[in-house]
Amino acid sequence: MMSSLTATERSRAFMITMTVLLGGLVMAAVGHGDPIGMQGWVVILFTAVVGVVLLKSFDAPDPVEDRSASYYDDPTRVGIIIALIWAVIGMGVGLWVASMLAWPNLRFDAAWSSFGRVRPVHTSGVIFGFGGNALIATSFHIMQRTSRARMPNQVLPWFVLIGFNLFCVIAASGYLMGITQSKEYAEPEWYADLWLVVVWVAYFILYMRTLARRNEPHIYVANWYYLAFILVVAVLHIVNNLAIPASLTGAKSYSAFAGVQDAMTQWWYGHNAVAFFLTSGFLGMLYYFLPKRAGRPIYSYRLSILSFWGIVFFYIWAGSHHLHYTALPHWVQTLGMTFSVMLLVPSWASAGNALMTLNGAWHKVRDDATLRFMMVAAVFYGLSTFEGSFMAIRPVNGLSHYTDWTVGHVHAGAMGWVALISFGSIYALTPVLWRREAMYSWKAVELHFWLALSGTVIYVFAMWNSGIIQGLMWRTYGETGTLKYSFLESMIAMHPYYVARALGGLLFLAGACVGLWNVLMTVRHMPRHAPERDYPTSSEATEPAVPAAE
Amino acid sequence: MSILSLLIPVTLVMGLVGLASFFWSLRNGQYEDLEGDAERILYDEDDRPLPSRTYKSPKEPTP
Amino acid sequence: MTLVDGDAAEQLMSPLQQGAARRSLRTARDGGAICLLSVPDIRCGGCVSKIERALNARDDVASARVNLSLKRVQITPSGSRADPALFIAALDRLGFAASAADDATATPDPTGNGLLRATAVAGFGAMNIMLLSVAVWSGALGTTRDAFHLLSAMIAVPVVLYAGQPFFSSAWSALRVRRVNMDVPITLAVLLATVLSLAELLQGGEQLFFDAAVTLLFFLLGGRYLDQMMRERASSAINGLARLAPSGAMVRRPDGALAYVELEEVKPGDRLVVSAGEYVPVDAQVSEGSTDLDRSLITGEPLPVLASPGDMIEAGTLNLTGSVEAVALRPAAESFLAQMIRMQSEAERNRGTYERIANRAARLYAPVVHLMALLTFLSWLWTTDGDWQQALFVAISVLIITCPCALGLAVPVAHVVAAGRLMRMGVLMKDGAGIERLANIDAAVFDKTGTLTTGRPRLEPVIADVADLSAARGLAIRSSHPAAKAIAADLVAEPAAVVEQVQEVPGYGIEGRIDGRRARLGRGDWVAEIAGEPASSPTDPAFAFAGGAPIGFEVTETLRDGVHDTFDAFSRGGLDLVILSGDSRERVMHLSHDLVLTDICAGMKPADKVSYLENMRHEGRRPLMVGDGLNDAGALAAAHVSMAPSSASDAGRTAADFVFLRKGLDAVAATHRVACRTAAVVRQNFTLAICYNCIAIPLAVAGLVTPLIAALAMSASSILVIGNSLRLSASPEKLRHGTRRRRLKKAAT
């Protein structure tokens, strides 16, 4: 794999790795005695592994292939595998924390294994580890295919992919050490945030340079969704993580904003992360892989462009609905509520567009589990955006907020939409990337589909029930005007649902494991496959391809 | 809500970037053949980059 | 279109076609050359990729790109000398007929892009101002509110100035000629709302209407852009139909060489060569050779006529059988074709200006509203003892709330939805005025040849010896005469494979040797010359072997599908039905014997048709004209509203308000039904807008309208109008000939 780099590229990659390793050394040295020192060792270990992989084929001969005649797919391949590994890790940890809630003994009483430390490993693991790597890998694929051009550089994509995973590893290991800035989905501390900015700028440059080299004049709509994802996430990340380190030799930092201002920034970031990380990028995936797999163009291309601009403009101000009934001024809450409700229009336009694309190809959906993954993802996208708009209405939020309903909503989106569209895309992509005839086992894909769907449904229904029961119990008053139920009573009422949730998570995790196995087996054991040509070769060119019309 | 004096300008600038890119895409003729562009992605079975080509557009008639 | 092997295609193209191909060359922005070809048969991404691969693989092509929406190929040739004829031949080999693209479709319409830009700016402004307004409405107070107001103003003013331009300029040009159109109240409302809000802002007021002004612009621009897009799509679809008129002529130079000459450069006295299958470029007199001419587009006669030396041939007639040389009589600008086009534009002028419903509504609406605002201002001034600021505020809120928005959208949205609906039915609508006029017709006038009939004659069944029939068909497939084509298509017999010494005698028929025997197919008396038993002169056309018994064929015109349905529907609707034909009376009578008609006029010249329609209009009638030929172009323009089939002449398609791509004539009745429903929806939209105003105006006059109410009411009424219009596409028109739709699709492929 590394042998497809030229010697210059290999040495450049090695230089970069060593520079980062040096940075890790500095962290380890100056941060001795502080968690940042431990994080330095994590960096050293990670870069050392990368360095060893590089060195193993450092003296291999230069590649002779004609680079202009093929796409650069190695980073995509590695990204897909990494994404699936993160899926298993993230979902496994998720299963653990879910079980911990049902059976508290699974807490094991260690500091690192406390719920507060393990839960962000789950959220970051699935969102950034699985989702982020899937986004990066598919974007590498889509930007090259739709531009009909190869990436401009061979080191930059590796830098983006490996650099992003370094961020994920720093983040996850940091959580277990107790390092967090206590912002949901933005827990990593300042040094990790700075590193992510560097990686993200490189990602943006790579994307723009590929588009600039494109041999197809039109920029396909999926690229717009990916670009919005990259650009807006960069801005959000920078603004929300504006913080002043307590000391340059320590991990701890203090946010630049205080109190409710900080909360507002956090949810401006948090909800836009949902919009631009978990929606925009995955819609890009949907708009490419769904038509490809179904073999028919998107139902309304015009609508896909319109809903792009709709989502870009409506999402930005929806975030304050996370802060209903808080110290946030009432009008800011109302603002968030209004925009959340309006957001339903472009969201449903996208979901409807996806489903209408399949209208007339239902037999393919019936037969092809990969396409079914995408179809169900679009359905869940429509469902969870409707639910989101509904829950953003202040009185509804009064019932749902701080209950498991919120957890159920997030997972309807994360499992039903994000994960299913990613799995569908990965199944569509794997045979193309490794030039295999098909997946190793279509039965395994089918099994994965049903595991994932049943897991999601069990999970979401359990959380809907427990959330509403919880919300109602919390607001039930006795005749004397006191609360009727104690908190513990509501916890006991939750127990069967928490068990059901763990079961749903287990099924979903099992599906992900089957998926990883299937992809690895496809890579190893499926015969190579020469791509079919749908255009006349030179010998056919002179023959009539279309019967003469009258 | 003093924080909005940061968030609103940031959002406005992002919106303007969006508007500018829309203007660029319009000038660049990105929306001239939406039907065809939706279909094009389906036809790349040989799965390799195209050779680079120059595309010209006709001069607008002088009124 | 036939497919031939390899390089033969280049040789097959006549010099005329090669010359015409050169018209596809355009100058690119950088001064180089590009070639634009119209390829109507492109249907899907598969065609796109096939064409692009094939063309891009050529050495003389730097890049080729297909536009699927416009069905057009754009080629950048490599090297300075490119021959578009080679590209056309290459496309022909792939199975796609291509011709030089029309100028009209060469560049995207700048108006549409301008409107889209304005819509985008208004949308951006509306979104951000709405954000700030929602914040203020939900209770942002004090300095926050003032800051938000200031920010709104900073966004709104440039947005209004930029995005409002289409309305401002249209209102200004109407006012300059002392007329009122819908854009006058819109402009007034937008400008006043902006100016008032600015004034309020300076005084730290609480009530600003920036959001109303910008949202209003956004909705209206959206409607206007859709309207523009609809027209652009229809016109590009019409331009995409193959052009029939010749673009140049082959001229024989004094030294005997043939040269391609652009149509405009043909001079009287030039010797023209017109080969079989070509259109006659200018009016000319035949000097050598003879041929059959299809004059159906000119005169409406369905059967060809013979032209021999000394005969006049008119520009636009189709040469069917032989090659002739002719001397040009007039330059192209004075040809019969040009006269027809002049007659058409004259008729269009006489048609008078039709005032669109929206403008009629505006004529009524604008004074009422403006007067009401003035009265409100005065009465508030009086009741508040001269508080002119308060009075002005209320007066302006009356202007804003009376919602030119719903009124401005009432018509275009309904028309856009109807146009989309018609397009799905295979009917192209050129602009909204046509559908308004179609809804209130009281008579329908039809041309015969090519309109009521298919233009392809049909063979009545014959009983004869199989060998004779097979020989007849063998001859027939070698001729392009319409009667021969009918025999070739409809005769059930294996055509004779070997026919030797084939000779087509223009005006008479085709002759050849089959199995060593002479055989003729053609005019009855000509066939009888060689037939063995000349007992009686057989009917036209006939076939006989030398010495054999002649067989008569009966070739009749066929009615289009759906003629009866359309006539039934129209006569049930109480419309007068008229046939105007250039053909002979008996043929018209024969064809229309079972149709209920008010009037039949045969032997009509183009000018007669025009004056017939003009008479009708002088009597206050509103006739629909359906016609296809060049001879109908004037009549199409003179009628209240007009339709043409896609097979019509270029001039006919230009003159008609609607062009239908379907084979059946039931498209006419279906379009009429859609037009009536559209008119009903437009009326409902106006009623909705008026009802809304009846509620909103008292509130506004009473001074109870806040910006929040204004914005909500405006959006609600717009959405209501849009929703009502969408009903037009919701219930699909039941096509009486369900299968025909599929057949149409097949025919289109």
What confidence score (pLDDT) does residue C192 get? 85
C672 belongs to a structural domain: no
Chosen for mutation from A148, A211, A213, A236 (greatest number of chain B CBs closer than 10 Å) is: A148
Residue A471 has pLDDT above 60, yes or no: yes
Tokens of C171: 């209102």
B18 chain-A contacts, CB cut-off 8 A: 309, 312-313
Tokens of residue C629, six digits: 């030929």
Residues of C in contact with B61 (CB under 8 A): 103, 106-107
Assess if residue C671 is contained within a domain.
Answer: no
Partner C contacted by B52 (CB < 8 A): no
Q: Are residues C155 and C22 in the same domain?
A: no
C46 touches chain B (CB under 8 A): yes
pLDDT for position C279: 83
| Residue A330 at interface with chain C, using a CB cutoff of 8 Å | yes
Domain of C527, in residue numbers:
458-556
Shortest distance, CA B52 to any CA of chain C (angstroms): 9
C541 shares its domain with C466: yes
Cα–Cα distance for residue pair A197/A394, rounded to 1 Å: 35
Indicate yes or no: CB of B52 within 8 angstroms of CB of A215.
yes
> CB–CB of C332/C315 below 8 Å?
yes
CATH number at residue C550: 3.40.1110.10
Which among A217, A330, A545 has CB closest to C65?
A: A217
Q: At what angle do helices C666-701 and C357-383 cross, to 10 degrees?
A: 0
Domain end residue (candidates: C538, C556, C574): C556
Confidence grade of residue C732 (pLDDT, cut at 50, 70, 90)? low
Instruction: State the burial class of residue C164 (Cβ atoms within 10 Å of its Cβ: 0-12, 13-18, 19+).
Output: buried
pLDDT at A544 over 60: no
Indicate yes or no: CB of C95 within 8 angstroms of CB of A329. Answer: no
Distance from CA of A535 to the nearest CA of C (A): 6
- What local confidence, expressed as pLDDT, does residue C242 receive? 60
Q: Where does the pLDDT of residue C290 fall: very low under 50, low under 70, confident under 90, or very high at 90 and above?
A: confident
Q: Which residue of chain C comes nearest to B54, CA vs CA?
A: C63
Q: Is residue C175 a contact partner of residue C87, using CB atoms and an 8 Å limit?
A: no
Q: Which of C53, C131, C749 sits opposite A535 (nearest CB)?
A: C53
Shared domain check, C522 and C508: yes
Give the separation between CA C273 and CA C252, rounded to whole angstroms. 7
Paired with C446 in beta bridges are C579, C626
Subunit contact C41:A549, Cβ cutoff 8 A: yes
How far apart, in whole angstroms, are the C-alpha atoms of residue A329 and residue A320?
10
Statement: residue C251 has pLDDT above 50: yes
Task: Flag whether residue B23 sits within 8 Å of chain A, measured between CB atoms.
Answer: no
* A324: nearest Cα among A406, A228, A397, A418: A397
- Is a pLDDT exceeding 60 seen at residue A8? yes
Q: Which residues of C touch A (CB under 8 A)?
A: 1-3, 5-6, 41, 45-46, 49-50, 53-54, 57, 65, 93-96, 123-124, 127, 131, 134-140, 749
Say whether A331 and C124 touch across the interface (CB within 8 A). Answer: no
- C132: closest chain B residue by CA: B8
Comparison of pLDDT for C102 and C361, the residue scoring more: C361
Residue C194 domain flag: yes
**Domain end (from C603, C635, C660):** C660
C458 three-class SS: strand
CB spacing of B11 vs A531 below 8 angstroms: no
Q: Which residues of C are less than 8 Å from A541 in CB distance?
A: 54, 57, 93
Q: Is A295 on the interface with C (CB under 8 A)?
A: no
Are residue C589 and residue C484 in the same domain, yes or no? Answer: no
Q: What are the contacts of C134-137 at 24+ separation with CB within 8 A?
A: C134/A334, C134/A335, C134/A338, C134/A339, C135/A331, C135/A332, C135/A335, C136/A331, C137/A334, C137/C707, C137/C708
Give partners of C (≥3 CB pairs < 8 A): A, B
Across the interface, whether the CB atoms of B8 and C151 are under 8 A apart is answered yes
What is the per-residue pLDDT for A466? Answer: 95
What are A392-422's pLDDT values in tens digits? 999 999 999 999 999 999 999 999 999 999 9
Distance from CA of B60 to the nearest CA of A (A): 19
Q: What average pLDDT does range A531-536 have in this prediction? A: 46
The more confidently predicted of residues A425 and C132 is A425
pLDDT digits over C308-341, tens only? 888 888 887 888 888 888 888 888 777 777 777 7
CB contact under 8 A, B49 and A297: no
In this predicted structure, what is the pLDDT of residue C395?
83
Instruction: Pick C138's closest partner by Cβ from A330, A534, A549.
Output: A330
Q: What mean pLDDT, rounded, does chain C reach?
A: 81
Band of residue C244 on the pLDDT scale cut at 50, 70, 90: low
Q: Give mean pLDDT, residues C158-164.
A: 95
Confidence grade of residue B60 (pLDDT, cut at 50, 70, 90): low
Which subunits sit against B, judged by 3+ Cβ pairs under 8 A?
A, C
Of A86-100, A142-156, B22-36, C454-468, the one with minimum mean pLDDT is: C454-468
**Chain A residue at shortest CA distance from B39:** A297
Would residue C188 count as lying in a domain? yes
- Assess B46–C contact: CB distance below 8 Å, yes or no: no
Closest partner residue to C94 among A330, A534, A545, by Cβ? A545
So what's the pLDDT on residue A367? 93
For C12-36, how does the pLDDT look when each residue is reduced to its tens digit (9 = 90+)?
566 677 777 777 777 777 777 888 8
> C44-47 long-range CB contacts below 8 Å, 24 or more apart?
C44/B39, C44/C68, C45/A297, C45/B36, C45/B39, C45/B40, C45/B42, C45/B43, C46/A534, C46/B43, C47/C96
Among chain C residues, CA nearest to A331: C138
Distance from C-alpha of A514 to C-alpha of A443, rounded to nearest angstrom: 10
Q: How far is C3 from chain A (nearest CA, A)?
A: 7
B9 near C CB under 8 A: no
Axis-axis angle for helices C183-202, C404-424 (nearest 10): 140
pLDDT score recorded for residue C158 = 95
Split into its structural domains, chain C has a count of 5
Pairing of strands C576-580, C443-447: parallel
Q: Please report, for the domain that includes residue C446, its CATH number.
A: 3.40.50.1000
Does C342 share its domain with C274?
yes
Backbone angles phi and psi of C257, in degrees to 5: -80, 155
A482 or C241, which is more confident = A482
Position with higher pLDDT, C547 vs C56: C56
Return the CATH number of A73-525, one of 1.20.210.10, 1.10.260.40, 3.30.565.10, 1.10.3720.10.
1.20.210.10
Q: Which residue from A325, A517, A284, A538 is spatially nearest to A422, judged by alpha carbons?
A: A284
Q: Is C207 exposed, middle or buried (0-12, 13-18, 19+ CB in 10 A)?
A: middle
Q: Which one of B18, B33, B57 has the shortest CB-CB distance to C69?
A: B33
pLDDT at C744: 41
* Mean pLDDT, rounded, for C277-295: 85
Would you call C95 and A547 a contact, using CB atoms and an 8 Å cutoff?
A: yes
> Is the alpha carbon torsion for A369, A370, A372, A376 positive or negative?
positive
pLDDT at A64 over 50: yes
Q: Which of A215, A305, A316 sits opposite B50 (nearest CB)?
A: A215
Specify if C743 maps to a domain.
no
Integer angstrom CA distances of residue C387 from C394, C397, C664: 11, 16, 68
Closest-CA residue of chain C to B16: C124
**Tell me, what's the pLDDT at A265?**
94
> With an 8 Å Cβ cutoff, are A309 and C140 in contact?
no
The string of pLDDT tens digits covering residues C488-524 is 888 877 777 778 888 888 778 888 888 888 888 888 8
Q: Find the closest chain C residue to B55 by CA distance.
A: C63
Which is catalytic among the residues C270, C283, C292, C447? C447
Residues C127 and C228 in one domain: yes
* CA–CA distance, A75 with C378 (Å, rounded to integer): 75
**Does position A530 have pLDDT exceeding 70, yes or no?**
no
Q: What is the 3-state secondary structure (H, E, C) of C179-241?
A: CCCCHHHHHHHHHHHHHHHHHHHHCCCCCCCHHHHHHHHHHHHHHHHHHHHHHHHHHHHHHHC
Q: Does residue C437 lie within any of the structural domains?
A: yes
**pLDDT bracket for residue C434 (50, 70, 90):** confident
Q: How many CB pairs under 8 A join A and C?
A: 66
C741: pLDDT confidence band, cut at 50, 70 and 90? very low
Is A355 an 8 Å CB contact of chain B? Answer: no
Token pair for residue C499? Answer: 């026919």
- In whole angstroms, what is the distance from residue A342 CA to residue A336 CA? 10
Q: Is any Cβ of chain B less than 8 angstroms from the Cβ of A547?
A: no
Query: Under an 8 A CB cutoff, do C123 and A309 touch?
Result: yes
pLDDT tens for each residue of A203-245:
999 999 999 999 889 999 999 999 999 999 999 999 999 999 9
Q: What is the pLDDT of residue B63?
A: 40
Whether C95 sits inside 8 A of A546 (CB atoms) is yes
Q: Are residues C463 and C536 in the same domain?
A: yes
The answer to whether residue C702 sits within a structural domain is: yes
Residue C393's pLDDT band, with cuts at 50, 70 and 90, is confident
| % pLDDT > 70, chain C | 91
Whether residues B40 and C49 touch (CB distance < 8 A) is answered with yes
**Residue/partner pairs of C564-571 with CB below 8 Å, 24 or more apart:** C564/C594, C564/C595, C565/C665, C565/C666, C565/C669, C565/C736, C565/C737, C566/C665, C566/C666, C566/C668, C566/C669, C567/C595, C567/C596, C569/C669, C569/C672, C569/C673, C570/C444, C570/C669, C570/C672, C571/C596
Distance of CA C127 to the CA centre of its chain: 37
Quick: pLDDT tens for C108-152. 566 778 899 999 999 999 989 988 888 888 888 888 888 899 999
Query: Which tops the pLDDT comparison, A258 or C40?
Result: A258
* CB–CB contacts below 8 A, B to C: 94
Q: Which residue, among C59, C63, C80, would best test binding to B if mutated, counting the most B CBs under 10 Å from its CB? A: C63
Under the banding of pLDDT at 50, 70 and 90, the label for residue A75 is very high
Give the domain-ending residue among C66, C90, C105.
Answer: C105
Contacts of B53 in chain C (CB under 8 A): 56, 62-63, 76
Flag the least confident range among A332-346, C363-377, C415-429, C532-546.
C532-546
Query: Which residue has better confidence, C434 or C277?
Result: C434
Q: What is the CATH number of the domain that holds C294?
A: 2.70.150.10
- Is C170 within the bounds of a domain? yes
Is the pLDDT at A497 greater than 90, yes or no?
yes
Three-class SS state of C503:
strand
Q: What's residue C690's pLDDT?
A: 82
End-to-end CA distance of chain B: 53
**Residues A92-135 pLDDT 10s:** 999 999 999 999 999 998 999 999 999 999 999 999 999 999 99
Annotation marks residue C102 as catalytic: no
Domain limits, chain A:
1-57, 73-525
pLDDT at C14: 67
